[in-house]
């Protein structure tokens, strides 16, 4: 739950759970310097839980809060992956999904090229090629949207999808699109960040997973990681090493998102 801080919020929530015979397994709170209160509470119930009643009780005690309430029934998130030609992120996700280690169901893969179709098909997942050639950006997005929509995904994962999305498209999936950016944001925004990193002679490169809002490179950051490089690394070497970081960071961010551990607050994330 999330909302303006007030006295007794934890008390009120834990009282409701206590009265409903629920046992708190894990609870984390955070109050921002600006006075916004965030809390994530995992609880279990030995008896048959009546989620409707718990939620109703909660609303009585913390009426003006934004409460997100989930029963365990549906655990894995449904996702559609968008990609272009690079395989390093999607192959890691597909492998984890194949071995049942991803907290999500990959329903389909949509790409503007067919390059990865043979690989994706090995995993028995539908692959939709929606070429952008000869189409305006809007027309292409409309076609992509039509490919995605039948799957009714809870999240879109941009696993190296190299096209910029319009605000119009992004608004259809508010706070539901996760992108992996090939740079330690906010450094090196834009195209060819590894060439920029080489030219600048940096000693560390990185990658950033973030939600997509209107500006492709500028949504709330979920996870970042870095890797040391040296003068011996060419721009191509940096790109190759950077891919390993991108893969790791995207997987880590998705794990947090799929486990409902990420709150968005302005342009920042709170991870509880």
Rounded to whole angstroms, the Cα distance separating 47 from 179 reads 40
Q: Tell me which of 148, 155, 160, 220 binds a copy of itself, using CB under 8 A.
A: 220
Judged by CB under 8 A, does residue 258 bind a copy of itself?
Answer: no
Contact 64, 76 (CB under 8 A): no
Closest distance to a copy of itself from the beta carbon of 152 (Å): 28
Size of interface with a copy of itself, in residues (CB under 8 A):
61
* Interface segment toward a copy of itself; rule CB under 8 A; list 26-34, 106-114, 143-151, 165-173: 26-34
Q: Tell me which of 59, 98, 163, 195 binds a copy of itself, using CB under 8 A.
A: 98
Judged by CB under 8 A, does residue 143 bind a copy of itself?
Answer: no
Kindly give the pairing relationship between strand 77-83 and strand 104-111.
parallel
Nearer to a copy of itself, 164 or 204 (CB): 204
Does a cis peptide bond (omega within 30 degrees of 0) precede residue 186? yes
Rounded to whole angstroms, the Cα distance separating 28 from 135 reads 48
Which residues are known catalytic residues?
217
Give residues 71-90 in contact with a copy of itself (rule: CB under 8 A): 87
Q: Tell me which of 2, 3, 29, 162 binds a copy of itself, using CB under 8 A.
A: 29
Contact 105, 123 (CB under 8 A): no
Kindly give the pairing relationship between strand 221-228 and strand 204-211.
antiparallel
Judged by CB under 8 A, does residue 202 bind a copy of itself?
Answer: yes
Based on DSSP, count helices (H) and strands (E) in the chain, helices before strands.
Answer: 8, 12
Nearer to a copy of itself, 14 or 129 (CB): 14
Closest distance to a copy of itself from the beta carbon of 153 (Å): 24
Rounded to whole angstroms, the Cα distance separating 157 from 179 reads 6
Rounded to whole angstroms, the Cα distance separating 189 from 183 reads 7
Burial track 111-120 (b if 16+ CB lie within 10 A, e otherwise): bbeeebeeeb
Closest distance to a copy of itself from the beta carbon of 40 (Å): 12
Rounded to whole angstroms, the Cα distance separating 116 from 126 reads 12
Judged by CB under 8 A, does residue 267 bind a copy of itself?
Answer: yes
Which residues would be at the binding site for a copy of itself (CB under 8 A)? 7-8, 10-11, 14-15, 17-18, 21, 23-33, 87, 91-92, 95, 98-99, 101, 119, 122-123, 184-188, 199-204, 206, 220-226, 230-232, 234, 240, 244, 248, 267-271
């Amino acid at each position: 739950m999330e909302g303006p801080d007030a006295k007794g919020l934890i008390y009120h929530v834990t009282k409701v759970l206590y009265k409903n015979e629920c046992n708190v397994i894990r609870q984390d709170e955070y109050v921002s310097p600006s006075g916004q209160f965030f809390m994530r509470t995992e609880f279990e119930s030995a008896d048959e839980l009546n989620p409707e009643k718990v939620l109703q009780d909660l609303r009585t005690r913390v009426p003006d809060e934004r409460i997100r309430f989930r029963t365990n029934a549906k655990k894995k998130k449904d996702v559609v992956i968008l990609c272009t030609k690079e395989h390093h992120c999607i192959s890691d996700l597909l492998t984890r999904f194949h071995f049942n280690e991803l907290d999500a169901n990959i329903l389909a893969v949509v790409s503007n090229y067919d390059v990865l179709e043979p690989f994706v098909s090995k995993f028995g997942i539908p692959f939709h090629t929606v070429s952008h050639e000869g189409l305006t950006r809007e027309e292409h997005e409309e076609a992509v949207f039509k490919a995605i929509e039948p799957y009714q995904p809870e999240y879109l994962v941009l696993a190296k999808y190299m096209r910029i999305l319009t605000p119009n498209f992004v608004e259809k999936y508010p706070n539901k699109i996760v992108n992996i950016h090939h740079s330690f944001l906010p450094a090196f925004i834009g195209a060819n960040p590894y060439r920029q990193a080489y030219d600048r002679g940096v000693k560390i490169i990185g990658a950033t997973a973030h939600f997509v809002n209107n500006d492709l490179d500028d949504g709330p950051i979920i996870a970042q990681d870095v890797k040391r490089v040296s003068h011996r690394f060419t721009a191509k070497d940096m790109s190759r090493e950077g891919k390993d970081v991108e893969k790791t960071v995207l997987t880590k961010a998705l794990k947090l998102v799929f486990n409902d551990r990420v709150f968005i607050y302005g342009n920042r994330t709170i991870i509880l």
